[in-house]
Structure 1
Amino acid sequence: MAASGRAIRVKNKTARWLTEAFQPPVVVTVQLLISPLVQDGFPATMAYGALAALFVCVLPLLLLLVLVRLGKVTDHHVSDRRQRLPVLLMALASILAGLLVLTAAGAPASVIAMVLAVVGGVVVLAAVSPFWKMSGHAAAISCSAVVAVLMLGAAWTPLLLLIPAVGWSRVVLRAHTLAQVVAGSLFGGVVMAGIWWLLRLWLVP
């Protein structure tokens, strides 16, 4: 019994670490920072990726933490599905403001393409959230891992192992069902990454 209890604690601790380490704001920030890699000027153009991350990840997360502090939202993962729509709409407003700033600042098309892919993801999650709790963690890590492999090459394929690992963590912590994790993974890895790929072909010279 003691050994079984220790195994459960280790499993839960590992799942919690994966959930926190690869939560959407962290994953998407890295994704945005490397987004200019496909254009000339990198790594100097990472500054535009950082500016994008400010509006896409940092500001929405700070506002979310304020809402958690005020008791308006349960936690920073927005575990209560009913609270997700207003939080996602708040994030969308920040992202759209960021797009305006990035455009005015002359950001590389590669950064704009990545932000637009994120916009597509947030819009769909916001539309689905009132009815079903599709995993944002799974969508974010799947999109980021697939995009990283497409950008950096086959040598980075092991990054795809993060997709089932993060998905497993969400199921273990009972934050999502297996179906919600699979749906999020497919949405992020196919739809969001696909949007980025098409926009990259269209926008990036």
Structure 2
Amino acid sequence: MPRTEARWAWWLSNGGEPRNWMFILAPLLGWHADGWAGLGWGVFAAVFTAMLPTLILRFGERRQYWGDRHVRRRQDRIVAAPGVMASVLTGTGLLYLLDAPAAVAALVTAMVSVLLALLVITFFWKVSVHSAVASGSLAVLATVFGPWMLVLTPLVAVIGWSRVRLRCHTVGQVTVGMLIGAAVSTPLYTLLG
């Protein structure tokens, strides 16, 4: 049973990575806002919020700037953050500059705000980015499509469980991540979307 449990935890952790949420959510919200054109904007946003950060993290892993693509050590996260944030902030700026649909720009602004909040905390404590992005994404989905989306809450919980089970985070780090993700993304997305 523990091996099966560990396998499930690994699968849920990888499936619930922040980049995967952005690969799905940005195009979905773009499509919802403006059909095919919006879908294109969503893909554009995903390039800067998911694809390029993934490439930056893999590059740093290969160069041994940090241990792995999940950047598990708190100190390594501080080293990795500037490259990832540069990509996300560049994408955010371009979305506004090029007049992307408000739904896509608001999503990226909400998520970059979550990342900035996590970065501040990371100087003192290691908080779960997986949990923050999962709960922030769920909050945005509920804002856009209605409270029935909250049926996905167990998905956010099992992603948090996977991070604890894999010993990447404590229950407290996962819980704080979930709270920050929802608390920061909801008002920002509501205001800007």
Find 2:39's aligned residue among 40, 46, 55: 46
Does the 8 Å CA contact 1:143/1:192 hold for their aligned counterparts?
yes
Question: Are 2:36 and 1:29 aligned?
Answer: no
Question: Are 2:72 and 1:79 aligned?
Answer: yes
Q: 1:59 deviation in Å? A: 0.5
Question: What residue in structure 1 maps to residue 161 of structure 2?
Answer: 168
Structure 1, unaligned runs of 5 or more: 1-6, 201-205
Structure 1 counterpart of 2:154, one-letter code:
L
Structure 1 counterpart of 2:26, one-letter code:
L
Q: How does 1:1-205 map to 2 (within 5 A)?
A: 7-36=1-30, 39=33, 41-200=34-193
Q: 1:151 deviation in Å? A: 1.4
Structure 2 counterpart of 1:136, one-letter code:
V
Q: Root-mean-square deviation (CA), in Å?
A: 1.5
**1: CA distance, partners of 2:93 / 2:139:** 27
Mark the CA change 1:198 to 1:103 in structure 2 (over 3 Å): closer, same or farther: closer
Q: 1:192 deviation in Å? A: 1.9
- What's the CA shift string for 1:143-201, capped at 9, x where partnerless? 1112112212344332111111101001101100000000001111222223212222x
Q: Residue 11 of structure 1: SS of its match in structure 2?
A: helix
**1: CA distance, partners of 2:144 / 2:102:** 15
**2: CA distance, partners of 1:145 / 1:43:** 23
Structure 1 counterpart of 2:30, one-letter code:
P
Q: 1:37 deviation in Å? A: 5.1
Q: When the two structures are superposed, what TM-score results if normalisation uses the length of structure 2? A: 0.93
Structure 2, unaligned runs of 5 or more: none
- What's the CA shift string for 1:121-149, capped at 9, x where partnerless? 11111111121011000001111112112
Identity %: 33
**1: CA distance, partners of 2:188 / 2:79:** 24
Structure 2 counterpart of 1:128, one-letter code:
I
Larger-gyration structure (1/2): 1
Q: 1:108 deviation in Å? A: 1.0
Structure 1 counterpart of 2:145, one-letter code:
L
Moved over 6 A (4+): none
Q: 1:68 deviation in Å? A: 0.4
Q: Residue 45 of structure 1: SS of its match in structure 2?
A: helix
